[in-house]
Amino acid sequence: MRNTARWAATLGLTAVAVCGPLTGSALAAPAASPASLYAPSALVLTMGHGESAATVNAARAVTLNCAPGASGTHPAPALACAELRGAGGDPALLAGSTSGRVCTKQYDPVVVTVDGVWQGKRVSFERTFSNECVKNAAESSLFAF
């Protein structure tokens, strides 16, 4: 009997500690509305010198948030978000096109990664450019950081 009372008291105190006291106003509170009507679109972009993201340290990193508005530490978040929307959130479509800029054939690989969430779906992208000039020749402002 003594253990049962102690057990009940422990359960009651645990419930109050975890859930808080159950008062009339707490029971009658309406459900919280969602914070946003937009699916999240938040990305982290990194750039480093080397052949793969697994073997290099990031030399630069920026954030890019596209929903509900463009923001982040990316130098041109509005333009980068607009380009991603046009590509359906696929960074690979933006990395393949070049401006026709002439670059040397020097091999000094640069790795760019894009990781995060685009309209609620996981995004993980890695691209190795032969050098920084080739990376900068991509027509997309997404990789210009």
CB of 124 closer than 8 Å to CB of 44 = no
Superfamily of structural domain 42-143: Subtilisin inhibitor-like (3.30.350.10)
- Report yes or no: 77 and 106 within 8 Å, Cβ to Cβ: no
Domain chopping of the chain, boundaries: 42-143
Give pLDDT tens digits for 5-44.
444 443 343 343 334 444 444 444 444 445 556 678 999 9
| Dihedral angle, C-alpha 84, 88, 94, 96, nearest 10 ° | 170
Mapped onto helix, strand or coil, the DSSP state of residue 82 is: helix
pLDDT in tens, 96-128: 766 677 888 899 999 999 999 999 899 999 999
Global pTM value: 0.69
